[in-house]
Amino acid sequence: MPIAIWIRNLAIALALAAAAAVGGSGFAQQYANLADEAAQPISAQAFLEEAETTENRTQLSIGIFAHNLAVYLLLLAGLVSGGLTTVFTVAFNGFMLGQMFGFASAAGAPMSAAVWLVAPHGILELSLLLLAAAIGFQGPAAALAWAAGKRLPHARRIWRTALVGVPLLAVAATIEGYLTVPLARAALLP
C-alpha cells in the first residue's frame, strides 16, 4: 500500500476514534451528573492499593491479549466487509475509551491516574489498533478489486504487516498485565 494511502487511512482512523472518544467522554460526564448521589465514586487510589498476585497478572495478560486480538481481527475484517466492521469497531472503541476518561473525571479521579493506567501499554496497543484500522479501511478498494476480478494491490505486504501486529499485541498485553499498574502505583501513590 503506498505511503499516502497509509497516512490517509491512519488519519481517518485517528479522527474517527478521537471524535468517538470526545462523544464518549461527554456522555460519561453527562450521565455521571444525572446519577444518584448515593452511588459509590471510583477510587483510583483504592484500586492502586489492592494487592495483586503474579497468577492474577498472568490471567489478566492472557485475557487482555484475547480481547485485543478480537478487536484487531474485527478491524482487519474491514477488508472483507467493505470497511464497515472497521468503522464500527474504531468508533465503538474510541467511544469506550472516552467514556472511561469521562467517568474517571466525573468521579474526581485525577486525570494523571487515568493516563498512567493507559499510557504504558496504550502507546503500543493503540498504535497497533490504528494500524489494523488503516488496513481495514482498504475494504472498499479490496471490494472493487474483487468485483473487477483482480487482487488488491500490495495484498501480500498488507497481510504481512497485519501478522506482525499479533505478537506485538501480546507484548502490549504483557505490559498491561505486568507493568501498567505497578508503574501507576509508583507514580501516583505517596
- Domain range list for the chain: 3-29+53-188
- pLDDT tier, 154 (very low <50, low <70, confident <90, very high otherwise): confident
Q: 23: pLDDT confidence band, cut at 50, 70 and 90?
A: very high
- Tally of CB atoms within 10 A around 144: 12
Dig out the grid coordinates for 78 from the structure.
474491514
Per residue in 43-96, pLDDT tens?
555 655 666 667 788 888 999 999 999 999 999 999 889 899 999 999 999 999
Instruction: Name the residue with higher pLDDT: 64 or 42.
Output: 64
Please answer whether residues 80 and 142 qualify as being in contact, where contact means their C-beta atoms are separated by less than 8 angstroms: yes
151 vs 47 pLDDT, higher one: 151
- Tens digits of per-residue pLDDT, 107-142? 777 777 778 788 889 999 999 999 999 999 988 888
pLDDT of 40 reads: 53
pLDDT at 175: 93
d(CA 69, CA 165): 9
Eight-state DSSP code of residue 136: H
Contact 85, 75 (CB under 8 A): yes
Q: Who has greater pLDDT, 156 or 16? A: 16
- Residue 38: per-residue pLDDT: 43
**Residue 42 exposure: Cα atoms within 13 Å on the Cβ side:** 17
Percent above pLDDT 90 for the chain = 44
- For residues 148 and 1, what is the distance between their CA atoms, to the nearest angstrom? 18
Cα separation, 163 vs 66, in Å, equals: 15
| pLDDT greater than 80 at residue 170 | yes
Please check the confidence at residue 144 and state whether its pLDDT lies above 50. yes
* DSSP category for residue 39: S
Query: 17 CB contacts (<8 Å, ≥6 apart)?
Result: 90, 91, 93, 94, 97, 130, 133
- CA 135, distance to chain mean position in Å, is 15
> Across residues 167-175, what is the average pLDDT?
94
